[in-house]
Each structure stands twice: as C-alpha cells, then as structure tokens.
Amino acid sequence: MELLLLLLIIIPLLTAFLIPLIDIINKKARRILVLAASLAEFFTFLFLVINNWDNIADGTIFIIYKMGGWLPPLGIVLSLDMLSFYFSLLITISVMFLILYSIGYIGHHEGKYYVLIFLMWTAMQGVVLTGDIFNFYVFVELLLITSAALIGFRRNKKGTIASIKYMFYGVIGGLFIFIGIILLYSNLGTLNYAEISANFTTLPFNTQGIISILFLIGLFIKLGIFPFHFWVARAQSTAPSPISALLSGVVEKVYIYAFLRLFWVVFDFNYIQTTGLDKIIIFTAITSSIIGHILALQESDLKRMLAYSTIGHLGIIIAVLTVNTKLAIIAGLLHVLSHLLMKISLFTTAGYLLQFVPSHQIKDSRGVAQQNMFVFAGFIVAAAGMMGLPPMLGFFSKLYIVKSFLDNSYYLSALLTIAGSITALIYYARYIIYGFRKTKLNSQQEFKLILSVLYRERLVTNIALVFAVAVLITGLIYKIFFGPLESVANILYNPSIYIDFILGG
C-alpha cells in the first residue's frame, strides 16, 4: 500500500530513463510506452484513491513510506496527507491530460520532450509527496532544470533567452531556499519536516525570521510575484503550448503547495502573524496581482497576455491564503483548482488556435473563430471563468476570495480583486472580438496550417475541450469541493497532527 507513494514518483522517473533505451530498439514502441506510463501513473493514483476512499472522504488520510526502512528523523520519508493528496490529484490528472495533448501537439518524433516532461512529472510529484526538506530542494531543482530545458525546446533565439532568464531566476530562488535549509540544518540538526516543525519555535526569534524570509523570497521568485515576475511572460510565451499550460497551470501550483506546506505546517505561521509579515505578503501579492492584470492589458501577444494574467491570479491566491482564516484558505484552494482548469484550458485552446495564424499577435487572430467554433467556445468559457462570470468555477472562487477579504477588513484587496476581473474582461474581450471578425476570402491565404506540428488534431481539440467543460461542470457542482478543502484547511491549522503522524508512526 505504502509502496504506491513511491510508485507515483518512480513510474515517471523510470519512464524518462526508459524512453532513450526504447529509442535504440524501436522508435515506434516509444509512443506506446509514453501512453502506457502516463496511464499507469493515473491508475496508480486511482488505486490509491480507491483503497483509501473512506479515509479520503472524512479527510483523515495519512500514508507514510519510509525509504529503505529508515525511521523518520534519520531516513527520508514520503508522506501523503489531505494537502498533498489534493495537489497530487491535480498534478496527476492535469499532467496526464497534457501528455495526451502533447502526443497530438508535438508528435512522436521528439523523444527528448517526453523524457523532460516525465522528469517534470517526477519532480512535481516528489515536491508534493516528500517529507524531507532537502529532498524537497532536490525535486525543486529538478523541476527547474527540466522546465528550463522545455522552455527552450524550440531551440530558437527567443526560447534560449527565455530559458536562460528562467534559469537565472530559478537558480537564485533555489539558492535562497538552499541557504534557508543550511540554516535550518545547522540550527536544528534535522531535515525532516515533522521534526523541524516540532522544534522550530525553539529557535531564536531572529533565526526564525531569517529562515522565513529566505524561504519566502525563494518561493516568490519561483512563483513570479511582482518584483520578481520578469521571467514569467517570456518563459510561458515561448514554450510550446502544453508546456506553457504546465508551467502556468501546474508548476506554479506546486510552489503554492510548497508555500502552504512550509509556512503553515513546517514553520510556524504564528511567527509571520505576530511580526506583521503577513500584511507585507498580502500587500505584495495584491500589488503583484493588479500589476499582472495591467501588464496583460497592454500586451499584444496572446500567450504573453495569458502569462501576465497568471501573475494576476497567483497574487490573489497567495494573498487570500495569507489572510489565514478557514474560509480564506478554502477560497484560495478553490481558486487553485479553478485557475488550474481555466489556464490549462486557455493555453491548450490558444495552442490550437495559434496554429492557424501567422503570429501570436492578437491583431493577426482575425477570424480565427471560423477555424473551429467549438475550441473557440472553449476559449470563451475559460475566459469567462477568468473574468468571474457564473456559472463557471472562477466566479465562485472569486466570490469566496472577495468575501474572505471583506470578512477580515481587507477592503482594498477586495476592490483590487474585482478591478482585476474587470481588467480581465477588457483584455479577453479584445481577443474574442478579433476572433469573431469576419475575414475576406482573399485574405484566407494568410492562414497557414502547420500540418507537421499538429499530429493528431482531434486529440488536441478534444483535450482542450475537456478542460473547458471541466471549468463549466465544476462551477455547477462547486459545493462538493468544500468538504475536502475544509479538511485540507484543518491540516494546515493543526500541524501537530502531521508531526504526531510522522514521528509517532
């Protein structure tokens, strides 16, 4: 049973190393391997869910895997509680769909692509499942290197610049995290989450502060919060569309997981609240959010626009999580889900629609709705979710975010959240209006369908639509997320549960 946790990490890792070997034998066998491995990962997770269904339903799931049989303070542990489960679920399902999308989008002739994307999957599952802070750092760096390679996947000048810039920021962010880990280890002599958590308050007050600030800046750089947001637009716009969707939709969520795990469970959130650091976090995040929306407004490139909108939404999520009431955390986690679905949907539909236009410029997307009405409708649904129109999930998450801001008297933050969604209306409407403009027949020549890139058009459109439909459906049943998310919030509020479980079990 516990082995399943290891399998979640091992399957993609093993696949990544198997792909080059299979290439030597038979290149056609690779496509079966890729498909089989992603399905195997999915079914492993499904198996985990089915086996522990009762515990998941009442929010008491705790699974621990001790690597090599070493007991927790000494050995590395993998652990799964409700918080990890939520994020692991999101990662498993969305990455599986994105790999299927990639099969249609990139095709099968790029072996390196699949190696990298499976390594990314390994890293993300690792970050979410690990119970050891150094292991966390290793997985974060693995995530950085693989995603940097994928950003520069097109091997052109733009991609290389973006990739190098991403590396710069990522390495510096990782460095801060690394220094924080060194400080932790030199002071506490342990790397285990639970043991750090149990002893963190015994540290001198200033040491606590330095460690918190180092981790905070490291994570903010990785998330792309305002003063460190400069890599976001470049990286997410030059990468191939499935990678953009992965970066914006999933990788950022992994760092949000890290933010939650580290600051609520491992470090003492009380420290942040007593020093008033939470006010600074909320201020920075909300500023970042509104600046992200403003920058998206001026952007004339569709994918850059979507990337800037990511900054806007991540700011809101970080801010609302830092408000630290039960409703706020539920709202933030709900927005994690809704932003994941909407952003992946937007990037996947945009990735398809951009095949028909000469460039990524919004001006060139004239009449793109004629190409595939359903995919364009999917884009509109996801964009409506971004603006916060009912019945999309985006509306409900926005509603609860604004409500939790107002409940705690953050009136300006609530107003800026709403201002952001109004700005979103303007910049999405611009693309949609261009998309509906009629094109004359003689300008039809401008459309060039790059057939070699789209391997399986049906697969691409269907998966793009799956996410768009998910945005709509989850909006209609948003109430069912409240129970599980409440148990996630309980985990965050009572770190002692986690400590007892790891150290006692």
* CB of residue 203 to other proteins, shortest distance in Å: 13
Query: What minimum distance in Å lies between the beta carbon of 191 and other proteins?
Result: 23
Q: Which of 39, 210, 377, 503 binds other proteins (CB under 8 A)?
A: 210
CA 158 to each of CA 65, 233, 236, 383, 501: distance values in angstroms, whole numbers, following the listed order: 43, 12, 12, 27, 48
DSSP 390-423: TTSHHHHHHHHHHHHHHHTT-HHHHHHHHHHHHH
377 binds other proteins, rule: CB under 8 A: no
Cα(423)–Cα(436) distance, integer angstroms:
20
Is the distance from CB of 222 to CB of 170 less than 8 angstroms?
yes
Structural tokens at position 116: 């990298």
Nearer to other proteins (CB atom), residue 175 or residue 459 = 175
Q: Which stretch binds other proteins (CB under 8 A): 65-73, 127-135, 388-396, 445-453?
A: 388-396
Contact positions with other proteins (CB under 8 A) in 269-328: 275, 277, 280, 291, 294-295, 297-298
CA distance 344 to 469: 12
> Which amino acid does the sequence have at 443?
S
Instruction: Mark the segment that binds other proteins (CB under 8 A) among 55-63, 183-191, 327-335, 473-481.
Output: 473-481
Interaction residues for other proteins, span 70-89 (CB under 8 A): none
Residue nearer to other proteins on the CB measure, 188 or 225: 225
Decide whether 71 or 433 has the Cβ nearer to other proteins.
Answer: 433
Which part of the chain contacts other proteins (CB under 8 A), choosing from 76-84, 316-324, 410-418, 444-452?
410-418
Residue placing its CB nearer to other proteins in the complex, 277 or 460: 277
Choosing from 51, 71, 201, 227, the residue that interacts with other proteins (CB under 8 A) is 227
Which residues from 28-47 bind other proteins, rule CB under 8 A? none
Q: Do 319 and 356 contact (CB within 8 A), yes or no?
A: no
* HEC secondary structure over 49-116: HHHCHHHHHCCCCCEEEEHHHCCCCCCCEEEECHHHHHHHHHHHHHHHHHHHHHHHHCCCCCHHHHHH
How much of the chain is in helix, strand and coil states, percent to nearest 5? 85, 5, 15
Q: Is the dihedral of CA 332, 333, 335, 339 positive or negative?
A: positive
- Shortest Å distance, C-beta 96 to other proteins: 27
Residue 337's contacts (CB-CB under 8 Å, 6 or more residues apart) are 90, 393, 397, 474, 481
| End-to-end Cα, the chain, rounded Å | 15
Residues 424-463 contacting other proteins, CB under 8 A: 425-426, 429, 433
Other C-beta atoms lying within 10 Å of the C-beta of residue 480: 9
Q: Among residues 45, 139, 228, 264, which is the contact residue for other proteins, using CB under 8 A?
A: 228
Residue closer to other proteins by CB (options 37, 184) is 184
Using the contact rule CB under 8 A, the part of the chain among 10-18, 60-68, 387-395, 484-492 near other proteins is 387-395
Query: Closer to other proteins at the Cβ: 60 or 408?
Result: 408
* Count of other CB atoms within 10 angstroms of residue 497: 16
Least distance between other proteins and beta carbon 418 (Å): 5
Could you list the residues that contact other proteins (CB under 8 A)?
A: 165, 168-169, 172, 176, 206, 209-210, 213-214, 216-217, 221, 227-228, 230, 275, 277, 280, 291, 294-295, 297-298, 384, 387-391, 395, 399, 402-403, 406-407, 414-415, 418, 421-423, 425-426, 429, 433, 476-479
